[in-house]
Structure 1
Amino acid sequence: MPHIVIEHSTDGHASFDATTLMQALHEAAAATGVVQAEDLKIRAMSYATYLVAGKRDGFCHVTLSLLEGRTPAQKVALSEALRAAMVRLLPQTKSLSVDIRDMDAVAYKKRLLG
């Protein structure tokens, strides 16, 4: 169920490979033990039009949405693991950030085809 959404600038990186970043984030999140690798869904969106603090500095922002119930320590572990993966792969990118969001377990609905 956890969803990782990567939002990033189209420029401002020494190099940017979305597939490599998605795999690294997948591995980093799973390695924490807080989420299960087989449950992760990851996607990336690029932005050609953006400002960071009023400038066209490169950015990469990751949002991890997961059902509520994790402890603050578990969320910090996820956030730090994801940020570390980003720092490793995007060392020249000006702005790297991570947001962990709780989803309401009662309101969240999904459908899967078998």
Structure 2
Amino acid sequence: MREILLALHHAAASTGVVKAADLKLRAQSFDDYLVAGEQKSFFHVTLYMLARRTPQQKETLSVEIRKALVALLVDTHSLSVDIRDMDPDAYKKRLKG
């Protein structure tokens, strides 16, 4: 999984749409799931970012992340990417210095 996360980190950062230092990647596995009504393999990425990118920037991110997935997970049935906008007024964060 670390190899996949590193590849996704590189793919996203290489677009210039997001800064490498701002990326946080997490993986979650599922024991119970269905893909088209069957237990077929899948890998899904959801990328949340503050709502200030253009549709073209979001598409660029999505395409590059999907390319990285395709290169790494050649036998996986379903590969998908979802880019989500976060409300910059509602999102609050604290970093411990």
Which ranges of structure 1 fall in alignment gaps of 5 or more residues?
1-17
Q: Which has the higher helix share?
A: 2
Report sequence identity in percent. 60
Letter in 1 for 2:35: V
Match of 2:76 among 88, 93, 101: 93
- Structure-1-length-normalised TM-score: 0.84
Determine the structure 1 residue equivalent to 2:63.
80
Aligned to 1:38: 21
Letter of the 2:2 partner, please give it: T
Normalising by the residue count of structure 2, what TM-score does the alignment of the two structures yield? 0.99
| Deviation beyond 3 Å, 4+ runs, structure 1 | none
Q: How many residues align?
A: 97
RMSD: 0.4
Unaligned runs of 5+ in 2: none
* Shift in Å, 1:50: 0.7
Letter of the 2:33 counterpart: Y
Aligned equivalents of 2:38 and 2:22: distance in 1?
Answer: 37
